[in-house]
Amino acid sequence: MKKIFALTVAFIAGIAMTASAGSIAPGQMTKCNDAKSITLENPGPANDASGKDGYSVNDRGGANVAIWKSSNFTTTPVTLGPNDNSDSVNGSDGGRTGLPQRGGMGKHKITLTSQNNFSRGDSIGDISGLVKITNTGQNPVTVTCN
């Protein structure tokens, strides 16, 4: 009887840790099977710098996910950082370097699109088969399988 109870509890906990496509909280996972595209979106909560000495308590509002693909059994990390600024500093040098200004704000949304006739299965573009997305960050992520 104890084994049945333990198995039931483990099954319910496993279901609780797995979400369907939609918003996944930190630590949760969702799956897409044979999707034509997968969209990952971070609503972009504001940077909460209320931690000790003004440090961020919510990873600057960014989101981190790990994407596992059954097509080649690889895991790829993806970060969405809508509050992160990656502007190059050469815009403020008065043009002395001669380099164009590059960069900009991070992205809050990306879409992975299935690609036909893939010659190398190690690319993130190969989303055929089962794809598992796990939220490894501190903020929720919305996943849409199309």
All structural domains of the chain with their residue ranges = 2-145
Say if pTM beats, i.e. exceeds, 0.85.
no
Mean pLDDT of 134-139: 93
Query: Residue 3: pLDDT band by 50, 70, 90 thresholds?
Result: low
Indicate left, alpha or beta for 130 from its phi (over 0: left) and psi (-120 to 50: alpha).
beta
Gap between the terminal Cα atoms of the chain: 43
Q: Is the dihedral of CA 20, 23, 28, 32 positive or negative?
A: positive
Backbone angles phi, psi at 13, to 5 degrees: -65, -40
3-class secondary-structure state, position 15: helix
CA dist 56 and 46 (Å) reads 10
Query: Residue 7 has what pLDDT?
Result: 53
pLDDT given for residue 84 in this prediction:
78
**Sign of the torsion formed by the C-alpha atoms of 11, 16, 19 and 25:** negative
Beta carbons within 8 Å of 95's beta carbon, 6+ residues apart: none
**pLDDT digit string, tens, across residues 82-134:** 777 777 776 666 667 777 777 777 888 999 988 776 655 556 667 888 999 99
Q: Are 97 and 90 in contact (CB under 8 A)?
A: yes
Tell me the pLDDT tens digit for each residue of 37-91.
999 999 777 777 787 887 777 777 889 999 998 888 889 999 998 777 777 776 6
